[in-house]
Structure 1
Amino acid sequence: MSFKTTLFAGLMAATFAAPAWADIEVHDAYARSSNPMAGAAFMVIHNHGEVDDRIVSVTSDAAARVELHTHIEDADGVMRMVHVEEGMALPAGGEIIMKRGAEHVMFMGLTDPFEQDEIVTITFQFENADDLVVEIPVDQDRVDAGAHGGHGGHGDHGAGEDQSSHDH
């Protein structure tokens, strides 16, 4: 094998072994809090790559605990917020839409209350891609398309109350 062929083969191997983080983008992110101790972040996460991935966890210095959450309907027809311990699938060419009443990033035990227009930094850890750091503006007034009302209920997370009456 010539030097040029060896170099080309090495470059091709490095290209295909490159981390997929460049193919994952976050759009339309914002955070808000329901009280001085709890908050949530919402966004759209796109996987423009050709490889399925999974968000396995999320971290932030903004809170004592940061988790991936969603809402599920229990046997009584009540929607409850739950920690998604197995992470969230991010298919190749697909997206995760994090919005109130659905998937979101949950902050519990805020180190400081979220203030309008400040920036909250989070880091997503993926199964395949490198970690992705995202800076998210706090917008206490924002209402998602299709959302009705405020983002209540997170302050009582884990209290077992009926979450169905709250808009997330």
Structure 2
Amino acid sequence: MLKSLFLTAAASALLMTTSAYAEAINADAPFVREVPPGSPATAAFMTLHNASDAPVRLVEAGNDLTPHTELHNHVVIEGVMQMRQVEHIEVPANGNVALAPGGLHLMLIGLESTVREGDEVALTLTFDNGETLELTAPVQPVMPMSH
């Protein structure tokens, strides 16, 4: 009886810790860029929020639309903007990071069908603390970047 009570208390404490911890990371306004038919890739954007007292890193992402997802950033090299894959995207403690056109974003690579405004894409984000965030992002048209 005592062993059962101890296991129940331990499981309850773990669940409370996990649920409180799971709410530390969330995403606002996720969306996937609408692209012309025949495009091999598209991008996903959002703002990631971290309500914990420690920074976390987005280290992996997946989606239900393409076979491959990469974390990317735009950099200017010799006056030319280029996309570069990055190993992680840091979300500061008690802060946020924007994934936006012209900056950090997720590349969804290997499109086999056209994505149109109104479609939805399931995204899975994995962080270095072991947390996983699953969300649905609507497909939206995005104006070209201006400089």
State whether TM-score is above 0.5. Answer: yes
Partner SS, residue 23 of structure 2: helix
Q: Which residue does 2:76 correspond to in 1?
A: 73
Normalising by structure 1, what TM-score?
0.71
Q: Is the 8 A contact 2:34 2:117 kept in 1?
A: no
Distance in 2 separating the partners of 1:96 and 1:88: 8
What are the superposed Cα offsets for residues 138-158 of structure 1, whole Å, 9 maximum, x if unpaired?
112x4xxxxxx42xxxxxxxx
Q: Which residue does 2:32 correspond to in 1?
A: 31
What are the superposed Cα offsets for residues 35-84 of structure 1, whole Å, 9 maximum, x if unpaired?
3322111111100112211000101121122111111122x122211111
The alignment yields a C-alpha RMSD, in angstroms, of 2.6
Q: Is the 8 A contact 1:61 1:111 kept in 2?
A: no
Distance in 2 separating the partners of 1:15 and 1:122: 24
What are the superposed Cα offsets for residues 77-134 of structure 1, whole Å, 9 maximum, x if unpaired?
22211111x2111111111101110001111111321111111011001100421111
Pair 1:18-2:18 in alignment:
yes
Q: Which residue does 2:66 correspond to in 1?
A: 63
Q: Which residue does 2:56 correspond to in 1?
A: 53
Q: Which one has the bigger strand percentage?
A: 2
Q: Which runs of 5+ in 2 are unaligned?
A: 1-5
Distance in 2 separating the partners of 1:41 and 1:95: 16
Q: Structure 1 pair 167/38, CA: closer, same or farther in 2 (3 Å)? A: farther
Distance in 2 separating the partners of 1:13 and 1:109: 42
Q: Which runs of 5+ in 1 are unaligned?
A: 1-5, 143-148, 151-165
Q: Is the 8 A contact 2:44 2:107 kept in 1?
A: yes
Distance in 1 separating the partners of 2:12 and 2:94: 22
Q: Structure 1 pair 54/16, CA: closer, same or farther in 2 (3 Å)? A: farther
Return the letter of the residue paired with 1:28: A
Partner SS, residue 34 of structure 2: strand
Question: What stretches of structure 1 move > 4 A for 4+ residues in a row?
Answer: 9-13
Q: Which residue does 2:85 correspond to in 1?
A: 83
Distance in 2 separating the partners of 1:124 and 1:26: 10
